[in-house]
């Protein structure tokens, strides 16, 4: 029986690359999207045309009711969810003193509350089966903090704390919980940075390149695989050596 992976924020960027990689690895893939409906359904069409099994499911992960409806739809089609990848996230760049209360709460609603809702929706089945893997998405800025990204850094640090706590709590149920903290990766999230800033970041990276979505997807796939069955509560940071 094929295993099922639910990937949030999978219509573009790292999530999209991950959906392709997991499909190629033999998983049934549930592709969550919020607003990018056409991109999600185009990806499903691409994967099914290649003989893979995939479906698109809409949900704003910051909305608890939508998350639970999404999980119910996946379970209706695929019976169980073996791997959960909490990949959806947003960023906000600016001076801390300019942040509004709404800015602060909105980024936590997606980056932290979204993981809370999704894990609570998926965990009953995993606990019942005493198996499963959860992978959360943090950032190098969740480890070290970044100037002008206080809200984002704080939210991603919270993800690490939640991951480690869940690993301890869910270990006796046979569930592994790990975190991936990427460095700067070529996605829409860094589109707002100018060329000079991106070049400076590249030069400060020992491997002298930005990350590709596929680099992060490969890390997700490793943590989901049997090769990582004795790994839990860890933070893997594919960042080209930027943060050592």
* Residues classed as catalytic: 152
Nearest to 75 by CA among 122, 139, 140, 138: 122
Question: Quick count: other Cβ atoms within 10 Å of Cβ 14?
Answer: 29
Strands 132-137 and 4-7: unpaired
Do 28 and 3 form a contact (C-beta atoms < 8 A)? Answer: yes
Rounded to the nearest 10°, the torsion over CA 135, 140, 145, 149 is -80
Do 8 and 118 form a contact (C-beta atoms < 8 A)? Answer: yes
Which residues fall within 8 angstroms of residue 122, CB to CB, at 6 or more apart?
A: 6, 71, 81, 84, 132, 134
Do 129 and 80 form a contact (C-beta atoms < 8 A)? Answer: yes
């Amino acid at each position: 029986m094929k295993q099922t992976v639910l990937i949030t924020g999978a219509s573009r960027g790292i999530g999209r690359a991950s959906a392709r990689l997991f499909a190629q690895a033999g998983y049934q893939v549930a592709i969550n999207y919020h607003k990018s409906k056409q991109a999600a359904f185009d990806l499903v069409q691409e994967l099914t045309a290649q003989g893979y099994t995939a479906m698109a499911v809409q949900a704003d992960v910051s909305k608890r009711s939508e998350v639970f409806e999404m999980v119910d739809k996946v379970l209706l089609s695929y019976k169980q969810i073996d791997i959960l990848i909490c990949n959806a996230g947003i960023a906000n760049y600016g001076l801390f003193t300019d942040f509004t209360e709404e800015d602060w709460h909105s980024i936590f609603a997606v980056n932290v509350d979204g993981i809370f809702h999704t894990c609570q929706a998926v965990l009953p089945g995993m606990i019942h089966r005493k198996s499963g893997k959860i992978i959360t998405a943090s950032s190098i800025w969740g480890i070290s903090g970044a100037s002008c990204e206080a809200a984002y850094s704080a939210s991603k640090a919270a993800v690490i704390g939640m991951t480690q706590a869940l690993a301890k709590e869910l270990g006796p149920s046979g569930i592994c919980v790990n975190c991936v903290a990427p460095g700067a990766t070529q996605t829409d999230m860094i589109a707002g940075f100018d060329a000079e800033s991106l070049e400076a970041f590249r030069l400060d990276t020992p491997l002298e390149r930005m990350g590709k979505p596929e680099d992060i997807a490969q890390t997700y796939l490793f943590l989901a695989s049997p090769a990582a069955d004795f790994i839990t509560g860890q933070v893997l940071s594919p960042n080209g050596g930027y943060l050592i």
